[in-house]
């Protein structure tokens, strides 16, 4: 069964629908590539997926271990290549991990390793530099 359906809406815009949930998102070409930049671009989604996947994998582990990461946040910075061909050159993923109590360095390192081995991280081309920065705070 298909995962999603994408309809081209014209003017460099698409609507992607997740078939199981019927949830939709709009993509728009970025301003620097002839678009309006009024929605996520496809490369924005790729970069954002990296952070979302890493947080999901850490969340699965945390749930199993009774650790609450609720309220944790990620800031994504996507950097496109300066030289052709146009592609993502680097994704910086800045995590602010909120926990109810301090985690040992050993436990933090386990979650950092998990983030680096999420399916999206492992699926990106090796030329895409992935920079993961972690700040651990007690919420």
pLDDT digits over 109-122, tens only? 999 999 999 999 99
**CATH number assigned to the domain covering 42-138:** 3.30.300.20
Give one DSSP letter per residue of the chain, joined into a string: --SEEEEEEETTEEEEEETTT--EEEEE--GGGTS---SB-HHHHHHHHHHHHHHHHHHHHHHHHT---TT-EEEEEEEE-SSSSP-EEEEEEEEEEEESSPPPHHHHHHHHHHHHTSHHHHHS-TTSEEEEEEEEEE-
CATH code 3.30.300.20 region(s) in the chain: 42-138
> Model confidence over 13-70: pLDDT tens digits?
999 999 999 999 999 999 999 999 999 999 999 999 999 999 999 999 999 999 999 9
């Amino acid at each position: 069964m298909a995962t999603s359906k994408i309809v081209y809406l014209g003017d460099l815009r698409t609507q992607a629908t997740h078939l199981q949930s019927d949830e939709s998102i709009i993509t728009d070409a970025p301003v620097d590539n002839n678009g309006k930049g009024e929605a996520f671009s496809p490369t924005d989604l790729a970069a954002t997926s990296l952070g979302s996947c890493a947080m999901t994998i850490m969340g699965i582990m945390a749930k199993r271990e009774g650790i609450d990461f609720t309220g944790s946040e990620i800031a994504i910075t996507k950097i496109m290549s300066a030289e052709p061909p146009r592609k993502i050159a680097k994704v910086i993923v800045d995590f602010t991990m909120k926990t109810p109590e301090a985690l040992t360095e050993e436990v933090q390192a386990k979650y950092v390793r998990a983030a680096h081995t999420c399916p999206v991280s492992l699926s990106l081309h090796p030329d895409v530099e992935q920079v993961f920065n972690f700040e651990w705070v007690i919420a």
